[in-house]
């Protein structure tokens, strides 16, 4: 979350209790993996709370906040595309509406911008914008059934899933809505067991892995809940080794990768942790730390490399144009 909202003493005490009750994995439970980080062409603008997607060749980035003052921001509408082969960015189009903490997914030649917060506010919206890349045309799709921001999204079996987030009154929801492009309709699926926000999701092998986030007790959830599509049910996976929120998640080969994040209690800081989860084996590995700790970032994998883009180096309102690439060794 780029601007820290005002929390009550009771809320902060609850956050501290949540940290105490969380049970992160011990060092013996997490193996180490290797990889190499490098700096790539920076994003043309410094942003945070962005949304990223890929078609397997290019990386698309939309939404978020752009700094407009020491503690204020605007919602930039330019949608950028990055070509990893040429390591360059281009401005692709303009969003119909400024949005932050939204979902962004690619499927079958189209980009889907899903819910989020309106412009530079924390007002949840139910907007659903669809961009035909080849035609360079936007259209408004059917409204997301549950308006929310700071949600998690994923594409599985050709359908777009919107999971969790916060809605009106800053209420966390576990709502799980799915959009079918064939029928152009939304429907509801099994609710995520832990209502939360500032989490991320990734689809892999017929399931959706939803990691980390925050709720009304802690900024540092270690929650790992896995949606099984064929059975329309959730199960619990091995907890995240380093609980945090405002993270980035992507998939490469058989692994779900988790990067960065922030917390405000008991201390205020960002995370440089890079970890990966193997759903089949239900285990975690740690990776070399990110060169720059940050939150409000996002990530995508192309040709065996992972690009971790934008986000705030400090907790709260902070911005960057960073584009750091990880190439795992295996």
In a domain, 315, yes or no: yes
- First-last CA distance in the chain: 33
For residue 14, what is the DSSP state?
A: H
* Token pair for 227: 């949606």
Instruction: Kindly state whether residue 3 falls inside one of the protein's structural domains.
Output: no
Residue 6, pLDDT score:
31
Domain contains 216: yes
**Close Cβ partners of 208 (under 8 Å, ≥ 6 residues apart):** 154, 156, 161, 163, 201, 202, 226, 227, 229
pLDDT of the residue at 70: 73
Which residues of the chain register pLDDT less than 70? 1-28
Which are the contacts of 231, defined by CB distance < 8 A and separation ≥ 6? none
Give the pLDDT confidence score for residue 25 in this predicted structure: 53
Report the pLDDT value the prediction gives residue 17, as an integer from 0 to 100.
41
Domain for residue 4, yes or no? no
Looking at the domain assignment, is residue 221 inside a domain? yes
- Give the domain range for residue 213: 9-328
Q: Would you state the pLDDT for residue 7?
A: 37
The rounded distance, in Å, linking the Cα atoms of 13 and 226 is: 29
CATH number of 81's domain: 2.120.10.80
Q: Please give the helix or strand (H or E) that residue 309 lies within, else none.
A: strand 305-309
Could you read off the pLDDT of 42-57 as tens digits, one per residue? 999 999 999 999 999 9
Structural domains counted in the chain: 1
Tell me if 258 sits within 8 A of 276, measured CB to CB.
yes
CA nearest to 48, candidates 328, 261, 213, 269 = 261
Q: Is residue 2 part of a domain?
A: no
Give the model's pLDDT for residue 24.
Answer: 52
Contact 291, 324 (CB under 8 A): yes
pLDDT value at position 28? 56
**pLDDT at site 216:** 93
pLDDT computed for residue 83 by the predictor: 98
14 found inside a domain: yes
Whose structure tokens read 């060092």? 27
């Amino acid at each position: 979350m780029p601007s820290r909202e005002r929390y009550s003493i009771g809320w902060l005490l609850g956050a501290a209790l949540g940290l105490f009750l969380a049970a992160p994995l011990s060092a013996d439970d997490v193996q180490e993996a290797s990889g190499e980080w490098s700096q790539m062409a920076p994003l043309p603008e410094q942003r945070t709370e962005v949304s990223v997607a890929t078609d397997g060749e290019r990386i698309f980035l939309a939404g978020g906040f752009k700094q407009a003052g020491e503690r204020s921001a605007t919602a930039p509408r330019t949608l950028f595309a990055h070509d990893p082969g040429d390591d360059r960015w281009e401005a692709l189009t303009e969003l119909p509406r400024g949005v932050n903490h939204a979902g962004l997914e690619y499927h079958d030649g189209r980009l889907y911008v899903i819910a989020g917060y309106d412009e530079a506010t924390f007002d949840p919206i139910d907007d659903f914008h669809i961009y035909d890349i080849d035609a360079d045309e936007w259209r408004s799709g059917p409204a997301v059934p549950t308006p929310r921001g700071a949600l998690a999204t994923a594409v599985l079996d050709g359908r777009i899933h919107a999971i969790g987030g916060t809605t009106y009154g800053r209420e966390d929801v576990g709502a799980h809505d799915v959009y079918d492009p064939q029928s152009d309709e939304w429907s509801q699926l099994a609710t995520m067991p832990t209502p939360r926000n500032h989490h991320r999701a990734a689809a892999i092998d017929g399931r959706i892995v939803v990691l980390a986030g925050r709720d009304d007790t802690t900024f540092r959830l270690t929650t790992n809940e896995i949606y099984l599509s064929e059975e329309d049910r959730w199960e619990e996976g091995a907890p995240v080794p380093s609980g945090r929120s405002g993270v980035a998640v992507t998939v490469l080969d058989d692994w779900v990768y988790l990067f960065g994040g922030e917390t405000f209690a008991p201390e205020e800081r960002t995370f440089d942790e890079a970890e990966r989860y193997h759903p089949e084996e239900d285990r975690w590995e740690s990776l070399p730390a990110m060169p720059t700790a940050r939150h409000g970032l996002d990530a995508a994998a192309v040709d065996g490399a992972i690009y971790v883009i934008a986000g705030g180096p400090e907790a709260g309102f902070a911005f960057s144009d960073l584009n750091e690439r990880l190439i795992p060794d295996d």
